[in-house]
Structures are given as C-alpha cells and as structure tokens.
Amino acid sequence: MKLITALVGLFLFATAAFALRGVDISQATSAAAFQCLKRDGYDFVVIRGYESVGRIDPNVATSASHAASAGVAVDVYIFPCQRCGNAAGQMTTLVNYLHSHGVRFGTIWLDIEGPGTYWSANHASNTEFIKELLDHGRSLGAHVGVYTSKSQWIPITGGATVASTAPLWYAHYDGTQNFGDFSPFGGWTHPYMKQYKGTTSLCGTGVDENWRP
C-alpha cells in the first residue's frame, strides 16, 4: 500500500511539473506584456488569427512576433464566419497569411461557439462546414484542433462526432487546472487543454487563462 501511495504521489508530482499554463488573446498585445506573462509562468498563447466577420485579424502577426521573442509558444485560432460560406477558402486565407508573414505556430484551433449567433439552426450544414475547415486545414499541412464546450457543440452540431480525432480544447470556468470536471461529448473522451478562467487582465492585457498537462 505504501508503494502504491508513493507511486500515485510521484505521478501527481510529475503531472504538475510538466503541466503548462497559457493565455488566449483577441487583441493586440505588446512585447512588454508577453515578457511579463513569461516571467509570471505563462508558457503559451493562442492568438486570434481570423475574425467572425470573415477577415484576418490584423494584429496576429505582430502579436505572434512579440510572443516568440519573449519565449512564449504560439498557437492561432480561427473564429470562422459560417454565414460567409467557403470554409476551405477561409482556412486557406489564414494559413497563407501566417506563412507569408513568417508566423511560426503549433496548432490552428477552430473556435466553435455561439449557437444562434454565429451558426445556423441546421446541424447538418454546420457540421459539414466544420468538417471542411478541419479537412482543408489538414490538407494544407496544419495541425488542427477544436475549441468548444458541450453547451456550444451540441446546439451547433447536434452532438456530431465529425471532429473527434482532433485535439479538444474545452471551456469551463471553474478556476481549476485539471480535467476532473470534463464530461465526454462529440466523440471526445479526453481533452487536450482547458480554458479554466475567462475574460481577465494579466500584465495589462485582456486574456483568458488556459491549462494543459
């Protein structure tokens, strides 16, 4: 029993030691802010690269450059415009822009939220749009994940499993840096990352806070 207890404690310590904290942003963020975030233990950022109105976020390249200079790893998210159509075109526009502006990034996250506001009432057409984003992003060589939550995914897609092979970044603002609150949905049985705190200010900039093991 003592051995088991010791092994469990070692596992928990190792998990905590390798866990990472990060932020996501939807506004221009300065070099000084990223330096401050890095000093405070935030190791990665997810930067909005494409806006829900159907255009590139003009701040993405500069913010990514500031983050990289501070030693903060960069991911990017696309807030797609479903009513604009042409999911493949939106993904192509983003990927080409990032490459042409020298943005080095790990994952492109599909921001899937806002049923009734950013999405139609048709589950099948919404699901097909998401699938097109995912498939086309992969065809362009990007690593693509999904940001959503059960309360958003089910009203938008009806609970479709079309994206279950992609990593899941889910939102639940309970303030805890663990997956103990996670309940499977959409074919996902285990998440990759959690947004545990929303709309706060760190180092003088507006962020959401995230954690991954």
- Catalytic member of 75, 111, 208, 209: 111
Single out the residue of 69, 74, 93 nearest to residue 22, CA to CA: 74
> What token pair was written down for 128?
């097909």
Residue 208 among the catalytic residues? no
The pTM score is 0.92
132 belongs to the catalytic site: no
Which residue carries 């998401």 as its tokens? 130
Is it the case that residue 2 has pLDDT exceeding 60? no
In this predicted model, which residue has the larger pLDDT, 17 or 82? 82
Predicted local confidence at residue 61, as pLDDT = 98
**pLDDT digit string, tens, across residues 158-190:** 999 999 999 999 999 999 999 999 999 999 999
33-88 per-position pLDDT tens digit = 999 999 999 999 999 999 999 999 999 999 999 999 999 999 999 999 999 999 99
Tell me which of 24, 57, 75, 208 is the catalytic residue: 24
Q: Does 174 qualify as catalytic in the annotation?
A: no
Q: Angle at which helices 123-139 and 87-100 pack, to 10 degrees? A: 30
* Residue 1 reports pLDDT greater than 80: no
**Residue 58: CB partners within 8 Å, gap ≥ 6?**
none
Catalytic residue among 57, 75, 113, 208: 113
pLDDT of residue 10: 37
